[in-house]
């Protein structure tokens, strides 16, 4: 009887974009973690570390290929072009769902505490199908990043989106959850808000987030704002409701203004009001442009969804000839 029977096969899914500086440092750490978990009997020794190259412009894919040759636990796939962090994570999860029992997605930069994986797997063995890695504090963040991040989670929850506070993309998902998640066909992907929609029993593991081990962050303020706006508009239609409410208030104020103007005109106390006229025009024009912009964003998302384009395209794999041996 195989010694792996009853032990879950784990695939650690790691998106990579221009990580040639950090990959040689963190890859051995992931390998050590997975071997320690396997030797302790927590997971199967058929578990793997899946690097997803997201169209990197540096030597990231070459390094992944070299890693795959150096140890069987390392495997990799490369997207045909850069599709963004969320699509890269999704690509890895979908490639893994049929050949493993559980996945843990984590960034390549070494900021997330990899020792928390033990608690995640333990929670899975205890019955949880989804385990969220949640930061216990934001002491390493700047005041600006801490304020904007916490505000973002509060805004998302206020908008009606179901997200886990202080959770990013460090999570465990069972193959059962992944198979159900495969039926979500959105092109506009925001995994942090989509995973809770699948349901199933969940658990939370808290961990400390560290400084990036090497290299520089690939998430500047512009990308963070884009991700935040994408998350809000992908998970909630409340912005349209807010626009409707603002429009109603402005219309009511405008109606009162019209009555006031008529009363003033009939009383003969009228005077040239070019300043107030300009202010009203600019105010209403600004409201209209913002409203059209938000509504246009939703229409654009509908347009992209209607095309049914593939969310990722895999151009290369390091393990394709052997993938049938991973599970069984």
Beta bridge partners of 131: 172, 203
pLDDT tens digits for range 121-167: 999 999 999 999 988 776 666 666 666 666 666 766 666 666 677 77
Q: How far apart are alpha carbons 167 and 124 in whole angstroms?
A: 18
Are 141 and 212 part of one and the same domain?
yes
Residue 272 lies in a domain: yes
Q: How far apart are alpha carbons 61 and 270 in whole angstroms?
A: 74
CATH of the domain at 227: 3.90.550.10
Q: How far apart are alpha carbons 172 and 121 in whole angstroms?
A: 8
Q: How far apart are alpha carbons 184 and 194 in whole angstroms?
A: 9
How many structural domains comprise the chain? Answer: 2
Are 121 and 190 part of one and the same domain?
yes
Are 140 and 274 part of one and the same domain?
no
pLDDT band, very low/low/confident/very high, at 117 (cuts 50, 70, 90): very high
Residue 23 lies in a domain: yes
pLDDT of 86 > 70? The answer is yes
pLDDT band, very low/low/confident/very high, at 13 (cuts 50, 70, 90): very high
Are 70 and 188 part of one and the same domain?
yes
CA angle 47, 48, 52 (to 5 degrees): 150
Helix, strand or coil, per DSSP, at residue 278:
helix
Range of the domain at 54: 10-235+316-325
Q: What is the DSSP string of 218-274?
A: S--HHHHHHHHHHHHHHH--HHHHHHHHHHHHHHHHHHHHHHHHHHHHHHT-----H
The per-residue pLDDT for 199 is 81
Are 158 and 121 part of one and the same domain?
yes
pLDDT of 90 > 80? The answer is yes
Please say whether the beta carbons of 167 and 138 come within 8 A. Answer: no
Q: How far apart are alpha carbons 113 and 251 in whole angstroms?
A: 52
Question: What distance, in Å, lies between the first and last C-alpha atoms of the chain?
Answer: 12
pLDDT of 292 > 70? The answer is yes
Task: Identify the DSSP state of 22.
Answer: T
Are 65 and 167 part of one and the same domain?
yes
pLDDT tens digits for range 16-27: 999 888 899 999
């Amino acid at each position: 009887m195989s010694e792996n029977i009853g032990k879950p096969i784990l695939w650690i899914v790691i998106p990579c974009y221009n990580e040639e500086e950090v990959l040689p440092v963190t890859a051995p750490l992931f390998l050590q973690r997975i071997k320690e978990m396997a030797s302790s009997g927590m997971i199967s020794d058929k578990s793997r570390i899946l690097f997803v190259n997201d169209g990197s412009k540096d030597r990231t894919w070459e390094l992944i290929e070299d890693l795959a040759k150096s140890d069987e636990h390392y495997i990799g796939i490369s997207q045909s072009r850069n599709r963004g962090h969320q699509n890269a994570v999704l690509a890895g999860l979908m490639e893994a769902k049929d050949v493993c029992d559980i996945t843990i997605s984590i960034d390549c930069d070494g900021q997330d505490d990899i020792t928390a994986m033990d608690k995640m797997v333990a929670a899975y063995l205890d019955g949880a199908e989804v385990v969220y890695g949640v930061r216990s504090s934001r002491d390493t963040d700047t005041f600006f990043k801490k304020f904007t991040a916490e505000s973002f989670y509060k805004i998302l929850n206020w908008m009606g989106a179901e997200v886990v506070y202080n959770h990013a993309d460090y999570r465990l998902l069972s193959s059962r959850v992944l198979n159900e998640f495969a039926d979500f066909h959105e092109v506009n992907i925001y995994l942090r808000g989509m995973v809770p929609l699948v349901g199933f029993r969940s658990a939370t593991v808290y961990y400390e987030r560290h400084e990036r081990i090497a290299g520089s962050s690939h998430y500047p303020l512009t990308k963070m704002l884009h991700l935040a706006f994408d998350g809000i508009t992908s998970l909630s239609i409340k912005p349209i409701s807010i626009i409707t409410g603002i429009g109603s208030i402005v219309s009511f104020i405008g109606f009162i203004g019209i009555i006031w103007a008529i009363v003033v005109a009939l009383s003969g106390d009228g005077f040239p009001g070019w300043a107030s006229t300009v202010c009203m025009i600019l105010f209403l024009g600004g409201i209209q442009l913002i409203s059209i912009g938000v509504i246009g964003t939703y229409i654009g998302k509908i347009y992209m969804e209607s095309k049914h384009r593939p969310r990722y395209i895999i151009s290369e794999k390091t393990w394709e000839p052997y993938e049938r041996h991973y599970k069984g």
